[in-house]
Structure 1
Amino acid sequence: MFDLDGVLVDSEPVWEEVRRAFVAEHGGTWQPDTQSRLMGMSTGEWAEYLHSLGVSMPPDEIARGVVDQMAARYRDGVPLMPGAVETVRRLSGAVTLGLASSSPRRLIDVVLDAAELNECFAATVSTEEVDRGKPAPDGYLEAARRIGADPRKCVAVEDSSNGLRSAHAAGMRVIAVPHPRYPPAPDALALAWRVLPGLDELTSDLLLV
């Protein structure tokens, strides 16, 4: 089970830039812990949170405006993580792959289309499609359900604190590939079964242990 943002796509800097500017442009105040709190939230959750920062728009309009800007940025080029495409294609020939992402479905589809990875995943889930975003386990549990797998026999690949907590709460073994700019909290990283420096280290032999 792959996460998307921060694992396959180096999108967290883009999300931060877009949402930070959106908050400032619409009367809100970005807080020191805002970015870390946003990582893993579903679309509805982060839109509500930005509204609570003083953005003078209803949450559904906030979500639509931010996602429109993200889609526009992706049209200029999707910032894939090093080794992302090669790793997914290599592993898809050996194990069944799923994806559980906090990104809205619209952006998941843009990324997978651009990277030509759609055929590699047996199921993809956006937290828009479940009740709760990360750190709740809902997205990972739904992805496991869609591929017909026992969550306890799945391995999740994550980078963020909320993502690590989500996959662990789902009962999965968790491999952490920390993002250098947004490292997970020590207590979240401690939940990881393995910690890898990059996707190139992720092999089918490791997943099948």
Structure 2
Amino acid sequence: MLELDYSRYQALIFDMDGTLVDSMPSHLKAWQTALEEQGLPVDIDFVGKRGGMPTPKIADEYASHFGVTFDKAQLVKTKKATFDTLWQEVARIPASVAVAEQFQGKLPMAVGTGAERSNMQRILDNLSLTEMFTTLVSADEVKAHKPEPDTFLYAAKEMNTAPEQCLVFEDTPFGLQAAHNAGMDCVLVLDGQLAEFHACPEHQTA
């Protein structure tokens, strides 16, 4: 089990999909349906590694990486419509939720996700997670999304906490990059467990 010194931090920030809740299987099913509908190559690993990014941004990176063209608006529409039939399958990730429960009412905590606010809200509400957090940041609140730092910096500002005093929980390389770009340490949640601690390089060289 990963041992963490939480006393070093004044606030916690959790990504949602794949970190706080096990939603990636449903998201990936929706992506597969949307890609197959347009006869595109289905590379689920490519999509999965970009968890935390908004769907339109993933679509742009998909087009660039594979050198394909498609009806982006239709792809996004199909992906979202398919997920709308699956989102109630989403469950808590116990290891991450346990940390949130431990510090509820003791530290300010935020959710910082690339999901749209409506999607974030319905999932957190359905799993009785909303009340744990003092701040909720979705794709709707920032213009630049992960791996840019804006989501986490916005959360820190809303919690009146310096970025270097925040600890981020993420599940993807892009999420880790976003945390470090924000000047924050990061815990990677892999296979439902708190798996790896990654100190911000700025802190190691300070």
* TM-score for both structures, normalised by structure 2: 0.77
Aligned pair in 2 of structure 1 residues 78, 12: CA closer, same or farther (>3 Å)?
Answer: closer
Deviation digits for residues 10-63 of structure 1, max 9, x if unmatched? 122221221022101222112375224532322320233455664742x33332
Instruction: Give the structure 2 partner of residue 138 of structure 1.
Output: 150
Q: Which amino acid aligns with 1:62?
A: L
Instruction: Give the structure 2 partner of residue 152 of structure 1.
Output: 164
Q: Which has the higher contact order (CA 8 A, sep 6+)?
A: 2
- C-alpha distance in 1 between matches for 2:132 and 2:109: 7
- C-alpha distance in 1 between matches for 2:45 and 2:17: 18
- C-alpha distance in 1 between matches for 2:34 and 2:134: 35
SS in 2 for 1:98: strand
Q: CA deviation at 1:138?
A: 1.1
SS in 2 for 1:62: helix
Q: CA deviation at 1:147?
A: 1.7
Instruction: Give the structure 1 partner of residue 50 of structure 2.
Output: 38
Instruction: Give the structure 1 partner of residue 199 of structure 2.
Output: 193
Q: Which amino acid aligns with 1:168?
A: H
Aligned pair in 2 of structure 1 residues 149, 110: CA closer, same or farther (>3 Å)?
Answer: same
- C-alpha distance in 2 between matches for 1:106 and 1:60: 19
Match of 2:81 among 68, 77, 81: 68
Q: Which amino acid aligns with 1:136?
A: E
- C-alpha distance in 1 between matches for 2:44 and 2:26: 17
Matches within 5 A, 1:50-129: 50=62, 54=68, 56-57=70-71, 59-75=72-88, 77-129=89-141
Q: Provide the alpha-carbon RMSD of the alignment.
A: 2.7
Instruction: Give the structure 2 partner of residue 26 of structure 1.
Output: 38
Structure 1, 90-99 or 24-33: larger mean CA deviation: 24-33
Instruction: Give the structure 1 partner of residue 18 of structure 2.
Output: 6
- C-alpha distance in 2 between matches for 1:155 and 1:62: 35
Deviation digits for residues 71-124 of structure 1, max 9, x if unmatched? 32123x322212444432332122110111122222211111011121211111
Q: Which amino acid aligns with 1:74?
A: W
Q: Report how many residues are paired.
A: 185
- C-alpha distance in 2 between matches for 1:93 and 1:103: 25
Q: Which amino acid aligns with 1:3?
A: D
Matched, 1:175 2:187: yes
| Preserved contact between residue 144 and residue 150 of structure 1 (Cα < 8 Å) | yes
SS in 1 for 2:169: strand
Q: Which amino acid aligns with 1:127?
A: A
Q: Which amino acid aligns with 1:16?
A: L
Q: Which amino acid aligns with 1:151?
A: P
Q: Which structure carries more strand by proportion?
A: 2
SS in 1 for 2:187: strand
Aligned pair in 2 of structure 1 residues 83, 33: CA closer, same or farther (>3 Å)?
Answer: closer
Instruction: Give the structure 2 partner of residue 201 of structure 1.
Output: none
Instruction: Give the structure 2 partner of residue 200 of structure 1.
Output: none
